[in-house]
Structure 1
């Protein structure tokens, strides 16, 4: 398994109007990159519970969306093929829809943001404590949080 390339703890706010509503990540990939993933984890020191797992397999242009509960990956994995991914970098925006327990994903482009997918999560989005970037990532060049 590849090492974690980037890790950030999300701020926690008791007031729902002060919660993180968007996470934007831009990164450069290693030469001949095969895959990368972004995990929204429910603990800062353990990956047994992952609210949302977003993985890109570059060669097949496949997105894998999933969650992990008590150390076990869900059998409800969602695979989508899209011919939109670059093999040298990525710019993704994850939008938290707390009311519907949905994660919406957009790809950043010079001309704006393009919708990629949405995923209904098993856990509450409020359970997310940290974000991890895994895989063939050379460097995360931007990490930004937005609030209501």
Structure 2
């Protein structure tokens, strides 16, 4: 498993109206990246409970969404085939990508930057993910969480990340 590259403990809030509603992350991946993930964890010192796990398998252009409870990953995870680097939308199937021998060529050396926004909807216990571009927000996915979003205490970034260029938090 890759190492944690970045950890941000969220500030404690005094009331429900002062809570994280938006997280923006911009980063650069290492050369020949395989994967990276953003975890919204319920304890900054322990990863036994993860409210939301957003993982990108770069070469396969696959996004995996999941959660972890009491140290066990959920069996019901969600996979989406999408190239978040070019914003063109989904791929029909992973087998098409592999059968066309495009997996190794899916990401060029100039496409190693990511720019994501996570919007937290407390009323519906969902997290919506967007890819940010000059042309605006491109919807990537929406995930219904098992845990209440108020349980999130930290954000971790794992995997083949060379550097975080921007980490911004928006509050109510």
> Which TM-score band (shorter chain)?
over 0.9
* Aligned-pair CA distance for 1:58: 0.8
1:36 paired residue number: 36
**What is the TM-score normalised by the length of structure 2?**
0.84
CA distance in 2: counterparts of 1:14 and 1:114, whole angstroms: 33
Aligned position for 2:125 = 101
> What does residue 17 of structure 2 align with?
17
Aligned length: 148
Give the Å deviation of 1:12.
1.9
2:154 to 123, 130, 134: 130
Partners of 2:83 and 2:35 in 1: CA distance = 14
Q: Which residue of 2 aligns with 1:57?
A: 57
**Mind listing any 5+ residue stretches in structure 2 that lack a counterpart?**
86-106
| Structure-1 separation of matches of 2:83 and 2:121 | 26
Query: Which 4+ runs in 1 deviate beyond 6 A?
Result: none
RMSD (Å), alpha carbons = 0.9
1:76 and 2:76 matched: yes
- From 112, 115, 120, the equivalent of 2:139 is 115
Q: Any idea what SS the aligned residue of 1:33 has?
A: coil
* Equivalence for 2:163: 139
**How many angstroms apart in 1 are the aligned matches of 2:24 and 2:155?**
11
Structure 1 portions without partners, runs of 5+:
none
The separation in 2 between residues aligned to 1:19 and 1:12, in whole angstroms, is: 9
Query: How far apart are the structure 2 equivalents of 1:126 and 1:12?
Result: 10
**Greater strand share, 1 or 2?**
1
